[in-house]
């Protein structure tokens, strides 16, 4: 039996970029009983509070999108926070979901779980075949633990817990901070502010040679719900576009969309992060799903959203 339109679905992290889009897409597809709790209402790092929530609310399905996230600088600066808080959230929610009889749980990982020097494109079976990227190792270890926890709960208890591994995500509602955001929104904000200030240059961390893959956030939500509705396998599934470009090419594309006329200056004293990170998405495509929004269109939609909402954004 699959999800019914009135099934009670709990989206953990429903205010974040990932969770909010999954909740929105569920509602668009006609699911009428989708719930979420703010951090003030439910501290997911508190085991007693999580257990109490599951006992009272009794969700039938769970999407575990809650996580402490950030870019290279944040991961490098606060590694203890990243590993501890993510391990707490995952362990509390997954265990409570099992013990309270949740019918299905979807855990969201991150493509940073794969080895730094991984064979490209990255197949799911390449997990744990090499050393991780040091700049986000703490976060990656936590996410690996989460997906392995789902795998072992399925193996030992036959719990229907599945995991999905999205590539780099972006889109409306993203974090546009300069110290704790990901590369695409940070570049967009830099380009916009440089354009407004009529600046001559924009600084970009690294050499610009690192290669990255990006998935529009609405496509991510659609792919996750597809898995909730259609996949019960023990192994996790990559979610992406299967296409990549260099950070330099990304910066040029954002520059064009934003309309910044100055020059790009690459600060080679700053780290590039993982040299290349392209997911093999053949497994997802074989299941019957493929992304719809290409990168240029996604950047245009994101910039339009940024222009409409920049006055209300809390960006640091």
Whether the per-residue pLDDT at 165 is higher than 80: the answer is yes
Q: How far is Cα 314 from Cα 124, in angstroms, rounded to an integer? A: 36
Mean pLDDT of the chain: 94
Q: How far is Cα 92 from Cα 243, in angstroms, rounded to an integer? A: 35
Give the β-pairing of 263-267 and 201-205.
Answer: parallel
CA dihedral over 17, 18, 23, 26, signed as positive or negative: positive
- Which residues are CB-neighbours of 28 under 8 A, at least 6 positions away? none
Q: Extract the tokens encoding 19.
A: 């969770």
- Which residues are CB-neighbours of 290 under 8 A, at least 6 positions away? 281, 284
Whether the per-residue pLDDT at 259 is higher than 90: the answer is yes
Q: Is 16 exposed, middle or buried (0-12, 13-18, 19+ CB in 10 A)?
A: middle
183 is in an annotated binding site: no
Question: Could you give the residue ranges of the DSSP H alpha helices within 198-294?
Answer: 217-230, 247-258, 282-287
Q: Is 251 helix (H, G, I), strand (E, B) or coil?
A: helix
Q: Extract the tokens encoding 131.
A: 């050393």
Whether the per-residue pLDDT at 316 is higher than 70: the answer is no
Q: How far is Cα 98 from Cα 269, in angstroms, rounded to an integer? A: 47
Residue of 256, 263, 264 whose CA lies nearest to 296: 256
205 is in an annotated binding site: yes
- Scan for tokens 């009983």, then name that residue: 33
Return contacts of 290-297, CB within 8 angstroms, 24+ apart. Answer: 291/215, 291/216, 291/219, 291/223, 291/240, 291/241, 292/216, 292/219, 292/222, 293/216, 293/218, 293/219, 295/214, 295/216, 295/241, 295/243, 295/245, 295/253, 296/253, 296/257, 297/216
pLDDT in tens, 31-63: 999 999 999 999 999 999 999 999 999 999 999
Annotated catalytic residues are 139
Q: Residue 170's beta-bridge partner residues?
A: 216
Walk me through the domains of the chain, giving residue ranges and CATH numbers: 9-173+213-244+278-293 (3.40.50.720)
108 is in an annotated binding site: yes
Per-residue pLDDT at 1: 58
8 Å CB contact between 46 and 93: no
307 is in an annotated binding site: no
99 is in an annotated binding site: no
110 is in an annotated binding site: yes
| pTM of this structure | 0.92
Whether the per-residue pLDDT at 315 is higher than 60: the answer is no
Per-residue pLDDT at 191: 96
272 is in an annotated binding site: yes
- Structure-derived torsion over alpha carbons of residues 166, 114, 267, 76, reported in degrees to the nearest 10: 90
Question: CB 83: neighbour CB atoms within 10 A?
Answer: 19
Q: How far is Cα 134 from Cα 94, in angstroms, rounded to an integer? A: 27
Question: For the CA atoms of the chain, what is the radius of gyration?
Answer: 19
Per-residue pLDDT at 116: 87
- Which residues are CB-neighbours of 23 under 8 A, at least 6 positions away? 11, 14, 34, 36
Mean pLDDT of 10-20: 95
115 is in an annotated binding site: no
Mean pLDDT of 232-236: 96
Q: How confident is the model at residue 64 (pLDDT cuts 50, 70, 90)?
A: very high
């Amino acid at each position: 039996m699959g999800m019914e339109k009135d099934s009670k679905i709990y989206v953990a992290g429903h205010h974040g970029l990932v969770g909010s889009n999954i909740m929105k897409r569920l509602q668009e597809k006609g699911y009428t009983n989708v719930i979420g709790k703010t951090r003030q209402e439910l501290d997911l790092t508190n085991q007693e509070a999580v257990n109490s929530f599951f006992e009272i609310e009794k969700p039938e399905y769970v999407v575990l999108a809650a996580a402490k996230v950030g870019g290279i600088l944040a991961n490098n600066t606060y590694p203890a926070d990243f590993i501890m808080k993510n391990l707490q959230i995952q362990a509390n929610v997954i265990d409570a979901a099992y013990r309270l009889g949740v019918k299905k749980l979807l855990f969201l990982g991150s493509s940073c779980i794969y080895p730094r020097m991984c064979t490209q494109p990255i197949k799911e079976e390449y997990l744990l075949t090499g050393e991780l990227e040091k700049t986000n190792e703490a976060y990656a270890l936590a996410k690996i633990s989460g997906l392995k926890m789902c795998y072992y709960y399925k193996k030992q208890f036959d719990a229907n817990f599945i995991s999905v591994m999205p590539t780099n995500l972006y889109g409306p509602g993203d974090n546009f901070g300069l110290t704790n955001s990901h590369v695409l929104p940070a570049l967009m904000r830099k380009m916009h502010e440089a354009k407004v200030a009529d600046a001559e240059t924009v600084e970009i961390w690294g050499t610009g040679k690192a290669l990255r893959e990006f998935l529009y956030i609405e496509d991510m939500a659609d792919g996750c719900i597809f898995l909730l509705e259609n996949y019960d396998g023990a192994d996790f599934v990559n979610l992406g576009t299967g296409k990549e470009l260099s950070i330099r090419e990304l910066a040029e594309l954002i520059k064009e969309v934003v309309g910044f006329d100055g020059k790009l200056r690459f600060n080679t004293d700053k780290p590039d992060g993982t040299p290349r990170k392209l997911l093999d998405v053949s497994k997802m495509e074989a299941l019957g799903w493929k992304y719809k929004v290409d990168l240029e269109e996604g950047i245009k939609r994101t910039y339009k959203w940024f222009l409409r909402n920049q006055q209300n954004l809390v960006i640091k």
